[in-house]
Amino acid sequence: MFPYAVSSIRDLMPKSFIFENVKGLLRKSFAEYFNYIILQLTYPQVKLKSGNWKENLSKLERIHTSGKYSGLRYNVVYRVLNAADFGVPQKRERVIIVGIREDLGIEWNFPSPSHSSDALNWDKYVTGEYWTRHRMAMPKSELDTARKEKKRLESRYGLSRPDTKPWITVRDALAGLPQPERNASSEFEGHVFQAGAKSYNGHTGSEIDMPSKTIKAGDHGVPGGENMVRFEDGSVRYFTTFEAKRIQSFPDDYHITGSWTEAMRQIGNAVPVTLAKTIAESLFPLL
């Protein structure tokens, strides 16, 4: 992806760019190549030889440390963001890379998280507002966690709740939806029951009263095994494509074509809409 990205930046010279990729880019074993990516994005007009990327990295490092480069340059920053911290009902950690053309003289920083697990747990275990909102009693399975979390939260925050909004849970995201049936729903496109969901060691699905685990692009085995919701009684089922759209924060009327497998691949490969919107809205007014 990144060679094409650098080529596009070189040709278009945009005021800014935003990229998203997996957190694995920051593995220690990948550190040198990730630095190569960042330097390419910083100096997209530098001509590099095809072949040995380490030689190209050395060239870019010399340019970067010399302080003499006068061509097109971008100020590039990156950070791992959890989509759940920005109002997406999904715990999805991804590397976000943002570049701003240096000649614009713009100062920018990543937006602060607007949601938190502490705020969710406050509503669950201190005030009980979460359960009241969903018109249900707190499940007995939560009692031990409730005692520990209530003590921890009150010790940390006193009588004042955290100043962020609560993480959005799967139950929040699916509120108002009927249980899926085997036949297509005319009201909710793609809200069709998908058979075959099974829970097994290490792949137990997403707890309904937490943000979803990362929606993945697979359809079975390890990837597909996590595209499930786990209810308070321990039973599981696959998310419908309509539910997965909500968990990825797509609007309900967003149209996705293809089979369940194809639709889940599209959804799993997408950037959560709310997270992308938050970053874009923090940057756009400055450009």
Mind listing the pLDDT tens digit for each residue in 150-159? 999 999 999 9
pLDDT tens, residue by residue, 200-253: 887 889 999 999 999 988 654 444 457 999 999 999 999 999 999 999 999 999
pLDDT of residue 182: 85
Query: Residue 246: inside a domain, yes or no?
Result: no
pLDDT tens, residue by residue, 85-133: 999 999 999 999 999 999 999 999 999 999 999 999 999 999 999 999 9
Tally the C-alpha atoms within 13 A of residue 273's C-alpha that lie toward its C-beta: 11
The total domain count for the chain is 2
Contact call for residues 212 and 89 (beta carbons, < 8 A):
yes
Range of the domain at 158: 115-163
pLDDT of residue 202: 79
Left (φ > 0), alpha (ψ -120 to 50) or beta: where does 30 sit? alpha
**Residue 131 identity:** W
Residues 44 and 78 in one domain: yes
Contact call for residues 267 and 241 (beta carbons, < 8 A):
yes
Element of type H or E holding 268: helix 260-269
Nearest-angstrom CA–CA distance, 137 and 157: 25
Residues 45 and 120 in one domain: no
Residues 58 and 148 in one domain: no
pLDDT of residue 221: 47
Give the C-alpha distances (Å, rounded to integers) separating 64 from 4, 49, 206, 219. Answer: 22, 17, 44, 44
Query: Residue 183: inside a domain, yes or no?
Result: no
Residues 12 and 43 in one domain: yes
Task: Indicate the residue among 103, 135, 163 that finishes a domain.
Answer: 163
Residues 21 and 60 in one domain: yes
Longest dimension (CA), the chain: 66
Question: Mean pLDDT in the chain?
Answer: 93
Residue 122 has a CB neighbour count (10 Å cut-off) of 25
Residues 56 and 69 in one domain: yes
**Percent of the chain at pLDDT exceeding 70:** 97
Q: Is 18 helix (H, G, I), strand (E, B) or coil?
A: strand
pLDDT-based confidence at residue 29 (cuts at 50, 70, 90): very high
Residue with tokens 């597909």: 224
Query: Residue 226: inside a domain, yes or no?
Result: no
Residues 8 and 103 in one domain: yes
- pTM higher than 0.85 for the full model? yes
pLDDT of residue 225: 57
